[in-house]
Every structure is written in C-alpha cells, then in structure tokens.
Amino acid sequence: MQENSTIKSEFLDFGFNDGINKGIQNAGFKVPSPIQKGAIPFIIEGRDLVAQANTGTGKTAAFGLPSMNKIANYKETGLLVITPTRELATQVADELYTLGKYAGIRTATVYGGSSYSRQISLIEKGAQVVVATPGRLKDLLSSGKLRDFNPEIVVLDEADEMLDMGFLEDIKDIFSYLPQNRQTILCSATMPKPIRILADKILDNPATVSIVDKNDATNKDIKQSYYVIEERERTDALLRLIDHNDPNKAIIFCRMKIEVDRLADTLISRGYSAKGLHGDMDQRSRDEVIKAFRSSKINILVATDVAARGLDVKDVSHVFNYHIPFDPESYVHRVGRTGRAGQKGEAITLITPIEFKELLKIQKSMGAPISLESIPTSLDLKERELQALSKEIVKAKIKDEASFLLSSLGEELDSSEIALKAISLLLRKYSVKGPEHIGFSQKEANQLLEKFKSNNNRNSRNSRGKRGGRSSDRNRRRRSSSSRRR
C-alpha cells in the first residue's frame, strides 16, 4: 500500500478501499476534521445520522467517503445527495467525483435549466452518485422518468437552507418516492423546529453528531464587526472598508437584485474586480460568474442571499453585509461563507441607527461577539498606504535601466529631487477617494445605541402599564356596575 503512505493513520483506520484512500491523498487531506471523525464510523455502521456542523467543516467528505466506499462496485445509483441550489449541487458532485474517481465512482448532477434527457441518460448508464436539487428531482420522480431508482443511501444536505428557500414540502414529497429500506443522513448547520420534525419523519433511530456549540452559532475563526452609518453613506462606507481591509476574496451581500446590479457597476467603474450574482441571471451567466470568482479572475462577488446559498469557496477572506439581514439565520449563513476549512475570516456589517433592532436580535442569538468599530478616515487610509508603499520600495530590486535613468536625470536634478518626484509618481495609484469622515465614531454610535435601548425599554414598560391600566379600569367599572345593581 505504498501509495497510501502519506495518509495519516486516522484515515487508514476507517478501512476504506485503495481507490478511496488515493482520492483522500490526492485531495490533500491530512487528518479527519471533527465532523468526519464523528460521522464516518456511524455511516460505516449503516446508521441513520443527523450531522450538525457549520459550512466549510468537511461535511461533504464526511458523508461522501464512507458512502462511496460502500457503493464503489454498484452498477446503479447507490447514493443520492439532495442540495438546495444548482451551484451547491455542482460543487458537491465535483468534490465527490474528485474523492471517488480512483474507486471508479461516476457522478451525475440533476437540476433545472439543463436537458432532461442528458441527466436521465447519465443516471441510467450507471452513475453511482446522483446530486440533485429538489425541484428537478421531484419532477423526475413524480413523472416516472427515473425507472428503478432505488438509492441505498440518501443525504439531505444543508437542510436548514432548504427550509429557508421554501423546499420543505418538496422534500417531503421526494421521500415518498424513495425506498423505505434506506440509510438516511441529514446535514444542517442549524436545527430549527421544522427540521427537527422532518428528521423525526425521515430518519430511523438516528445517531447525532454535532460540532456546533449551542451558544455559538458562528465560527470562532471569524472576526465579526459592525459600523454605524447614515443611509446616504452606505456605498462610500463600503468602498472605504474594502480599501482598508484589502480582501483577498470577498462576498458583498445585498437584499435586492437591483442593488446587486447597481453596486457591481459602481465597483467595476471604480476599478475593482467585481461581478454581480442574483436569481434573474440565466444559468450560464451564473455559472460563469461563480467560475470566475472561484478561479480568482474576480475577487469581489456582489450577491443576494438566495444566489449565494450553499456557495462553497474556501478562500473567501471577507464577507460584507451591505444591509443587515432581517433574521439571525440569514446572518449565520452569510457569515459562514468566510472562515472555512480552518482559515480565518472577517464579517463586516453596515447598519443605520434605525436598524439597531435587527442588530440586537442577531447579537442575542449569536455566541460570538459582534464588535462596534468606526470607519477609518481618509487620513488613516493614507497613512496605511504610505507605510505599504515604503515597504514596497525597501523590498524592490534595482533594475539596470534604473541606474541609466538616474544618471541621465542627474544632469538636471539632484538625487533628492529625483527621489521625491519618483515617489510622487508612485503615490498617484495610492489616492484615497471619498469624504474624510464616514459614519459615526464609536462614542457617538454607543450613545445612539444606549438611547435606542432606553427608549425601547421605556416603550415596553409603558405598553405593559397601559395594558394593566385598561384591565384595572375594566375591573373598576365592573365593580361599580355590580354595586349599582345591588
């Protein structure tokens, strides 16, 4: 077993076949992640399973490796994975193919917007793994287009996102067409009540593996911060924070499709490498944008929540919430796009004072802190960029042409003038745009927040008092009326 010599003993201990072990090795896996350590033994045993873990923790390999090891010699579909979006279906299928190809695993993806006949043909030709979205899968099953489709293992991936996107009834319908004698695995970052009810219905005496701290809904590797601004400052604030943080790769979340288009156009016009992603785009355009983002041809993706559901790009360094999401679950999903696979990440949220209510609701449900910060001034950014330029100059290698140019310029200027003029030319690309000050200082924002909390508490007390007052008035009127009758 020479080819497996670089795989750590923890993976070898699972007893996978040589083909699966070669896939693990080529994928660069060193040791199993916590969710893999917990889930794989139960799946090997054939147990139904609830696997609760944040995105980017290795869930696909956790259910994929033992499942593909079991079905490697099958001539028909043995593993069905149901995912909420086309993008995630493609990602999961690609990862499973990469991990299983040396074991002879063939995969097929099933989603809307593509040819029925091609998808059905791939399945009928013996794809052992099918990764599907709910809408197209339900259509194929209910219409009888899939003959003898009896997967032995069924995985419901990102179940909470299925719920958020309104697929719960479709999922229930799909399971009515699947064999009763199956192994079922449900993966979810969160477990809201409807998902727990679904789990009770579709799983049989499941084991549970959770690596999510109940008091910490988001990854501790993600630094979370928020900035208080005026509504008119939103775009300037975003641009300033992008310049200050200099993200390797970033996703900016907007609430509406029209905002995505407008903001993407603004970023492109300012020289940023950006594209928009939303549900009104055709599938080919969406695929091209995601491919460009994944391959780093662009480094900023502007997207709506629905468009970015299940998007798995491991090197996203920053998430920007252009608007704060309406609920904590959306916040968790957005923030989960960064800090994946053990990497550090940063989540930045812009809010106005009238959005304090949403902020407090999210903070209450989060275990990890969301810190208040103030947006750097243009002077702060200039100083930072000067420091970066000085380091660049110190590290720069001197070219032969530079010596020639210096000697020729020396006939007209002294050396200090040459240096200052050269540095001035370099500084052109370090110009800082936007107003000097953007948003509220931390002190001002804290004062506004405390005032909001105080008013909120006062209104709550007054509301309770008024309810009590009305009740007391009614009781007094009843007693008075009763006394008159007597």
DSSP 452-478: HHHHHHHHHHHHHHHHHHHHHHHHHHH
Q: How far apart are CA 437 and CA 434, in angstroms?
A: 9
Q: What would the mean pLDDT of 36-61 be, rounded to a whole number? A: 91
Strand, coil or helix: 112: coil
What single letter denotes the amino acid at residue 77?
T
The DSSP H or E segment spanning 156 is: strand 153-156
pLDDT of residue 43: 97
Nearest to 59 by CA among 151, 159, 136: 159
- Tell me: pLDDT of 24 over 60: yes
- 91-116 pLDDT, tens per residue? 899 999 999 999 999 999 999 888 88
pLDDT of residue 363: 87
Cβ neighbors of 229 (< 8 A, separation 6 or more) are 237, 350, 351, 352, 375, 438, 439, 440
Handedness of CA 136, 97, 219, 47 (dihedral sign): positive
pLDDT of residue 310: 64
More confident residue, 457 or 142: 142
pLDDT of residue 477: 42
Nearest to 438 by CA among 374, 349, 373: 374
Percent pLDDT > 90 in the chain is: 54
The C-alpha angle with vertex 97 and arms to 8 and 14, in degrees rounded to 5, equals: 30
- Tell me: pLDDT of 189 over 90: no
- 377-432 pLDDT, tens per residue? 988 888 877 777 788 788 888 887 877 788 788 778 887 887 888 777 777 766 67
- 286-318 pLDDT, tens per residue? 889 988 998 999 999 999 987 666 677 878 999
Among 31-45, 207-221, 326-340, where is mean pLDDT lowest? Answer: 207-221
More confident residue, 284 or 250: 250
- 63-88 pLDDT, tens per residue? 999 999 999 999 999 999 999 988 88
pLDDT of residue 85: 86
Q: What is the CATH number of domain 2-210?
A: 3.40.50.300
pLDDT of residue 2: 40
pLDDT of residue 466: 56
Q: How far apart are CA 62 and CA 309, in angstroms?
A: 20
- Tell me: pLDDT of 349 over 60: yes
Domain with CATH 3.40.50.300 in the chain: 2-210, 222-378
Q: How far apart are CA 82 and CA 365, in angstroms?
A: 28
- Tell me: pLDDT of 178 over 60: yes
Q: How far apart are CA 121 and CA 464, in angstroms?
A: 65
Angstrom CA distances, 363 to 327, 334, 350, 370, 371, stand at 11, 15, 14, 7, 10
Architecture in CATH of 222-378: 3-Layer(aba) Sandwich (3.40)
Number of Cβ atoms within 10 Å of the Cβ of 370: 17
Q: What would the mean pLDDT of 195-219 be, rounded to a whole number? A: 82
Q: How far apart are CA 105 and CA 20, in angstroms?
A: 9
> Edge to edge, what strands does the sheet with 274-277 contain?
274-277, 300-304, 250-254, 318-321, 345-351, 222-228, 370-372
pTM of the shown model: 0.65
Q: What would the mean pLDDT of 438-449 be, rounded to a whole number? A: 92
pLDDT of residue 413: 82
